[in-house]
Amino acid sequence: MAFPFELLATSPASSARRARLRTAHGTIETPAFMPVGTQATVKAATPAQLHEIGAQIILGNTYHLNLRPGPGLIRELGGLHKFMGWDGPILTDSGGFQVFSLAKLRKITDDGVSFRSHLDGAEIFLGPRECMDIQTALGSDIAMVLDECPPWPAKEEDVRAAVDRTLRWAKTCRDIWTELGQPEKGRHLFAIVQGSAFANLRRECAEALTALDFPGYAIGGVSVGEPEPEMLAAVAAATPYLPANKPRYVMGVGTPPQLLKMIALGADMFDCVMPTRLARHGVAFTPDGPINLKNAQFARDPKPLVEGLNNYTCNHFTRAYLRHLFMAGEILGCTLLTLHNLHFFQDLMTQARNQIETGTFEKWSQEWCARYEAALIKGDPLPEGE
């Protein structure tokens, strides 16, 4: 495979980048948003529908797939692509974030982390070797190193310890990945920058990982409860110290304005459950902010969710009908809103790529965010839940 990351255009007024990332299962145009397929499925959407709305790459969750159905079964049945019927690129996370956020009674050592399954309480160990073996069995195009994600807030000495452990694990993961022959198969391993809200630790971690020469780099430990200004500051503290000729992936974010603000900081790739999770609660994304279709004001609304947006939901259904589906408890409502929300995010990334190419990203982005965020000031709070 030729050098996998090609920088096509940069913004004259910010750090926004337009690029292309090649993988064994296809090319990803960046900036890119990745729908989250936690358990080998993007909830309420088929692979064919994901292709139709323009998804280039989806994310699978190593923690959950390791517990159920297990990497051995997935390997036996031809790997994750064949197992879930998706022929495009797949990124799998390391499982580290879920271990630290979901698992009970965990014990962290320099060798890895022992924890109990959230499903049945079984004791499980996840270290660099296990993390690389699982992702090798899954056969994803992009794998992630094992890292330690500190909580927010945290003391600097605790975050430094997490950064030091993350760096040791990153080197070990890289060595094991090479030993397993994965680079020769065109599979990429990304490192993860940690450091919480401490800019000095973010820089140290980014510089140390850059010296290890990974194919790509992620910024982790954001959107873990901190206010948005701190989240953006954490990304800004890392991106200048990551190599310009490698992709940069901000993990687990975010709202549409957050994505645009992080693109301006030099980020290329994103994933988040927000568009699918909110869809299942009747919330649709629009350029004027999210709307909750369960509100009575939409009962007789004959308009599509977004005028002129070319997706199946907007082309065929009114807000009134979509509200009816949710009020009646019909599953179709979840699917139609999931497709719309994911397409909304994909369309936003397409617009961002075009604006970077024409050198107008900053003005367009600022105007786009101002329109979206103006509606949030007077809008209803969004529902929470799975």
The one-letter amino acid at 148:
E
Which of 35, 26, 24, 33 minimizes the C-alpha distance to 59? 35
Residue 379 pLDDT > 80, yes or no? no
Q: Which residues of 278-294 are buried (b: 16+ CB within 10 A; e: fewer)?
A: bbbbbbbbbeebbbbbe
Q: Is 271 noted as a catalytic residue in this protein?
A: yes
Confidence at 100, pLDDT banded by 50, 70, 90: confident
The two most distant CA atoms of the chain are separated, in Å, by: 62
The one-letter amino acid at 348:
L
Confidence at 2, pLDDT banded by 50, 70, 90: low
pLDDT of the residue at 79: 98
More confident residue, 383 or 110: 110
Residue 386 pLDDT > 60, yes or no? no
pLDDT, tens digit, 9 for 90 and up, residues 291-337: 999 999 999 999 999 999 999 999 999 999 999 999 999 999 999 99
What percent of the chain shows pLDDT beyond 70?
97
According to DSSP, the residues that pair with 248 across neighbouring strands are 217
pLDDT of the residue at 97: 85
Q: Is 93 noted as a catalytic residue in this protein?
A: yes
* DSSP strands (E only) in the chain: 5-10, 17-23, 26-30, 32-34, 36-37, 58-61, 90-93, 104-109, 112-116, 123-126, 142-144, 188-193, 216-219, 248-250, 269-271, 283-284, 291-292
Confidence at 69, pLDDT banded by 50, 70, 90: very high
Contact 189, 177 (CB under 8 A): yes
Residue 370 pLDDT > 90, yes or no? yes
pLDDT of the residue at 346: 99
| Catalytic site residue from 93, 141, 268, 347 | 93
Please name the helix (run of DSSP H) or strand (run of DSSP E) that holds residue 370, with its range, or none. Answer: helix 361-378
Residue 355 pLDDT > 90, yes or no? yes
Which of 138, 103, 133, 135 minimizes the C-alpha distance to 120? 103
Residue 102 pLDDT > 80, yes or no? no
| Catalytic site residue from 147, 271, 288, 380 | 271
Residue 383 pLDDT > 90, yes or no? no
pLDDT, tens digit, 9 for 90 and up, residues 209-240: 999 999 999 999 999 999 999 999 999 999 99
The SS3 assignment for 253 reads strand
pLDDT of the residue at 235: 98
What percent of the chain shows pLDDT beyond 90?
91
Residue 385 pLDDT > 60, yes or no? no
Phi, psi at residue 203, to the nearest 5°?
A: -65, -45
**Mean of per-residue pLDDT scores for the chain:** 95
pLDDT, tens digit, 9 for 90 and up, residues 146-202: 999 999 999 999 999 999 999 999 999 999 999 999 999 999 999 999 999 999 999
pLDDT, tens digit, 9 for 90 and up, residues 36-54: 999 999 999 999 999 999 9
Residue 375 pLDDT > 90, yes or no? no
